[in-house]
Amino acid sequence: MCQGPHRVTNRRAEGETRGAGPLDGRNVATPVAGKATLAIVTVDGAAKNDKKMVREAEVVGVEWLSPGLVRLFFTGEDLRGIPPLECTDHYIKFFFPPKGADYSWPFDPALLRTTLPAGQRPVTRTYTVRSFERESNTMAVDFVVHGDEGLAGPWAAKATPGDRIGFRGPGGKFIPDHSADALLVAGDEAALPAIAATLQALPADVVAEVFVEVEDEAHRIELPVNERTTVHWVHRDDHSHGVGLAQAVRNAPYPDGRVQAFVHGNAHMVKDIRRYLFVERGLEKARASISGYWRTNYTEDAWQASKHEFVAAMEAEEAAAGQS
């Protein structure tokens, strides 16, 4: 866990133990609906860490955090097998039948992928685990409600207690660097869950400059901040996603000292800020966790399919800009 290209050196906080990660045991709120009574189910008595394992979750609570962000609380026997969550950007992939398919959960994703024609196979949508409270076996996930298009957003907007869904994961890579002087954070609504979880786990002596783009003032949410964290809210108003955010990051003073960066959200916004950090500020790539969570006018499937090419073009532009 917490390994990969974004891994950074981390000094474990005093008193923090393995198996009690930043997301473990720190639920963000109590679900509004009652929880099912569950037996503890483990595999050979141990939590099974299998990212590909298909698990089922049941909605037990719904809380609207803003007009465009809904938090769903999930429980279910399968959640007991979720391994320790040691990163602050853990994500899971929910399974959905594509639009027009004549089946619904429960289904076997692996089987349907081999037996159904391409357009009817189940697809996945990626979401951050905002928190997982092991004691009550409750997982919170915050969904951006971005209109009628798509599968996950519209599903979450209508979800009610008792609804069930399949998912796999969690994966995750990022953890705040306890030896950094400053953490520079930028993201949009889709990144708010990971940003909030990161701020919650931030060492008290690290300065955090946090830039968040939301539609307007009504879409701001409360973030877990300490006195060394400054949140700069950017309102999109009539601009395209990410334009105002990238501008705000560029216009702000660059933090002093050893900087770590966490930048996620709309792909075009990420591209712009990435270039600023790597090319103009000379930030080492190993000190940054940067990725496009979604792309305007692309479904997640289409974005994932085009991501390799998008990233290659972005890197080529950065390399050319670095030489000029």
Ligand X SMILES: Cc1cc2nc3c(=O)[nH]c(=O)nc-3n(C[C@H](O)[C@H](O)[C@H](O)COP(=O)(O)OP(=O)(O)OC[C@H]3O[C@@H](n4cnc5c(N)ncnc54)[C@H](O)[C@@H]3O)c2cc1C
Please choose, out of 11-19, 40-48, 141-149, 278-286, the segment that lies near ligand X by the rule CB under 6 A.
Answer: 141-149
Half-sphere exposure of 93 (CA within 13 A, CB side): 18
Q: Number of residues in contact with ligand X, rule: CB under 6 A? A: 25
Please, what is the minimum distance in Å from the beta carbon of residue 301 to ligand X?
A: 7
300 is a site residue for ligand X (CB under 6 A): yes
282 conformational bin, left if phi > 0, alpha if psi -120 to 50, beta if neither: left
125 is a site residue for ligand X (CB under 6 A): yes
Rounded distance, CA 191 to CA 225, Å?
16
- Please name the residue ranges forming H helices in the chain: 109-115, 152-158, 192-200, 243-251, 267-275, 300-323
Please, what is the minimum distance in Å from the beta carbon of residue 288 to ligand X?
A: 15
Q: Which of 143, 262, 276, 278 touches ligand X (CB under 6 A)?
A: 143
CA 98 from chain centre, in angstroms, equals 22
127 is a site residue for ligand X (CB under 6 A): yes
Please, what is the minimum distance in Å from the beta carbon of residue 35 to ligand X?
A: 22
When the beta carbons of 124 and 137 are compared against ligand X, the nearer one is: 124
193 is a site residue for ligand X (CB under 6 A): yes
Looking at residue 206, its amino acid is V
Rg, the chain, Cα only: 20
Q: Which of 105, 233, 254, 298 touches ligand X (CB under 6 A)?
A: 298
Q: Which of 146, 173, 236, 271 touches ligand X (CB under 6 A)?
A: 146
299 is a site residue for ligand X (CB under 6 A): yes
When the beta carbons of 255 and 271 are compared against ligand X, the nearer one is: 271
Please choose, out of 12-20, 105-113, 187-195, 245-253, the segment that lies near ligand X by the rule CB under 6 A.
Answer: 187-195
Is residue 58 helix, strand or coil? strand
Question: Two tokens at 207?
Answer: 């300065």
91 is a site residue for ligand X (CB under 6 A): yes
When the beta carbons of 14 and 148 are compared against ligand X, the nearer one is: 148
Looking at residue 122, its amino acid is P
Measured CA to CA in angstroms, residue 205 lies from 227, 235, 254 at distances of 10, 29, 18
293 is a site residue for ligand X (CB under 6 A): yes
Please check whether residue 123 is in contact with residue 96, taking contact to mean a CB–CB distance below 8 angstroms: yes
Q: Which of 296, 315, 316, 321 touches ligand X (CB under 6 A)?
A: 296
When the beta carbons of 192 and 255 are compared against ligand X, the nearer one is: 192
When the beta carbons of 55 and 130 are compared against ligand X, the nearer one is: 130
Contact mark string toward ligand X, 35..74, x via CB under 6 A: ----------------------------------------
| Cβ-Cβ contacts under 8 Å for 169 (sequence gap 6 or more) | 51, 90, 91, 92, 93
Q: DSSP state, 89?
A: S
When the beta carbons of 271 and 295 are compared against ligand X, the nearer one is: 295
- Angle between helix 243-251 and 267-275 (nearest 10): 20
Please check whether residue 278 is in contact with residue 285, taking contact to mean a CB–CB distance below 8 angstroms: yes
262 is a site residue for ligand X (CB under 6 A): no
Please, what is the minimum distance in Å from the beta carbon of residue 305 to ligand X?
A: 12
Sheet of 164-171: strands edge to edge? 123-128, 91-96, 164-171, 55-66, 69-75, 138-144, 131-133
Q: Site residues (CB under 6 A) for ligand X?
A: 91, 125-128, 142-144, 146, 149-153, 189-190, 193, 293-300
